[in-house]
Amino acid sequence: MSRTVLRAWWWGLGVSSLLVAAAQGGDLKALVGGTLVDGFGSTPIRDSVVLIDGERIQAVGTVKTLAVPDGAEVISTEGMTVLPGLWDMHVHLMINGHADYAHWDATYPDRFRDVIMPASAHQLLMAGVTSARDMGAPLEDSIAVRDAIGRGEIPGPTMYMSGPFIQHAPYPGTELFRWGVDGVADARAKVRRLAEAGVDFIKLIDQDQMTEDEVAAVVDEAHQHGLKVAAHAHRPEEIRRGLRAGVDCFEHTGLSTAPGYPEDVLVMLEERTAQMNKGPLFWTPTVEGLFNYEYVRDHPEMLDTDAWHLGLPPDIVADIRQSFAHPERLGYFQITPLRKPTLKNKIDQLRRAGVKLLVGTDSGIPMKFHIQSTWNELDIWVREMGIPVMEAIQAATYWPAVHMGVADDYGTVSEGKYADVIAVQGDVLRYVDLLQRVDLVIKHGRRVK
């Protein structure tokens, strides 16, 4: 119901009817007609009806089984696929595709909180991403941006923030968002500081350069504060140490050009995934940036579009653009073509070992924009990695919510959940790349696109 109609109705019917309407939920929306992929992984629901009351989903059914109440605002989803809002489990709000990290880290920290991170968040939301996990940024900025979004002051996904990375030693010039640990007591103190500041999880990297006691202390301290630990898996020894210490989620598929994971790592993974009392072992492989690099380099449409300018002032856009004027010359990418052929085998190995893969993208890294990342990851999973589309969608909806411990509120389109819902014209189960043009985005019951 539009505001104007509501007002006319108010004056026409008087206060007593209005109180009835309020009791029924004054802000009722009905998404009617689309094919609902609800996130649970079962058969899609044709001719679906999703009733939204305020921030939450009130009921889910079909046009035959669920009547649309009088007064509800009807939004037609005929011809559309309706899905839970997507999750991206590996984003970097503080970066925005610029190819030179040293320049970025030296130039823009003053603008992270008010300009760059909000722009990134807005872009994710417009891409249908209603929840995202941020994998490392300065502590105060992380909390401030997450909370400003939470209060509705700026548009963006519901954010889960790590704050600064925990690692052996920060790389020079990155001390704002990387904290080194020196000994067990320091490891515990740093994690405690992050927990007390209100981060949502701990990001651990380079754990193969820490002592085993330090790694164990980081993970144990995090768990004592109810925080999960997400750790890099760039090198086999990072995986081994991470598994021994009990990390909850690994990130990336490995920086090397080795064709697969060593046998002993696979055995450790299977031993871990066999322990169901610990819950699934999660892994965010972030394959899209690697897989698509040569394509993006040679077909610059994704770089030339102005879609990724959203929220960024002209000076920053110009700076980002000039940074990849010659993408083929960037040192960052020289080894990428050699890593690409290893991806499929590694993904297969992880799936065979029983690992639960999550959709995440490393969004924000060079030439990778928040408005494009997530659908590309799903596209590569389905088209190139051979992952069934329903499994891919669940890895971007249901499983992230389970991993973050919020499955009672998020991850599926079902009764009682927050109304985070997207809709896309066409059959996403057949053509997953349709997700590049999300037609409808509803976050916490409010239509934002």
| Whole-Å CA distances, 295 to 99, 340, 365 | 16, 12, 16
Given the complex with Zn ion, which of 282 and 418 has the nearer CB atom? 282
Instruction: Find the shortest distance in angstroms from Cβ 277 to Zn ion.
Output: 30
Given the complex with Zn ion, which of 161 and 217 has the nearer CB atom? 161
Which contacts of 68-71 are long-range, i.e. CB under 8 A and separated by 24 or more positions?
68/30, 68/32, 69/24, 69/28, 69/30, 71/1, 71/9, 71/21, 71/24, 71/28
The one segment of 43-51, 175-183, 361-369, 381-389 that binds Zn ion by CB under 5 A: 361-369
Q: Of these, 208, 362, 377, 420, which contacts Zn ion (CB under 5 A)?
A: 362
Question: 3-state secondary structure string, 432-449?
Answer: HHHHHCCCEEEECCEECC
Instruction: Find the shortest distance in angstroms from Cβ 89 to Zn ion.
Output: 10
Helix (H) or strand (E) holding 314: helix 314-323
Helix (H) or strand (E) holding 52: strand 48-53
Distance of CA 108 to the CA centre of its chain: 23
Instruction: Find the shortest distance in angstroms from Cβ 171 to Zn ion.
Output: 14
Instruction: Find the shortest distance in angstroms from Cβ 136 to Zn ion.
Output: 7
Given the complex with Zn ion, which of 141 and 362 has the nearer CB atom? 362
Instruction: Find the shortest distance in angstroms from Cβ 81 to Zn ion.
Output: 29
Q: Which residues of 247-283 are buried (b: 16+ CB within 10 A; e: fewer)?
A: bbbbbbbbeeeeebbeeebbebbeebbeeeeeebbbb
The one segment of 104-112, 126-134, 241-249, 354-362 that binds Zn ion by CB under 5 A: 354-362
Contact between 248 and Zn ion (CB under 5 A)?
no
Instruction: Find the shortest distance in angstroms from Cβ 133 to Zn ion.
Output: 10
DSSP 8-state assignment for residue 72? P
Maximum CA extent, the chain: 74
Given the complex with Zn ion, which of 33 and 136 has the nearer CB atom? 136
What residues are paired with 421 via a beta bridge? 84, 442
Given the complex with Zn ion, which of 362 and 420 has the nearer CB atom? 362
The one segment of 34-42, 111-119, 206-214, 362-370 that binds Zn ion by CB under 5 A: 362-370
Contact 231, 247 (CB under 8 A): yes
Given the complex with Zn ion, which of 72 and 229 has the nearer CB atom? 229
Q: Which residue is nearest to Zn ion (CB)?
A: 362
Contact 221, 191 (CB under 8 A): yes
The letter for the amino acid at 354 is: G
Given the complex with Zn ion, which of 188 and 234 has the nearer CB atom? 234
Instruction: Find the shortest distance in angstroms from Cβ 95 to Zn ion.
Output: 9
Contact between 238 and Zn ion (CB under 5 A)?
no
195: tokens are 């927990």
Name which of residues 122 to 141 contact Zn ion (CB under 5 A).
Answer: 135
Positive or negative CA dihedral for 27, 28, 33, 37? positive
Q: What are phi and psi of 34, to 5 degrees?
A: -80, 170
Query: Which candidate, 231, 295, 221, places its Cα nearest to that of 90?
Result: 231
The one segment of 158-166, 215-223, 304-312, 356-364 that binds Zn ion by CB under 5 A: 356-364
Given the complex with Zn ion, which of 39 and 254 has the nearer CB atom? 254
The letter for the amino acid at 320 is: I
Instruction: Find the shortest distance in angstroms from Cβ 251 to Zn ion.
Output: 7
Instruction: Find the shortest distance in angstroms from Cβ 92 to Zn ion.
Output: 5
Given the complex with Zn ion, which of 135 and 387 has the nearer CB atom? 135
Return residues touching Zn ion (CB under 5 A). 135, 362
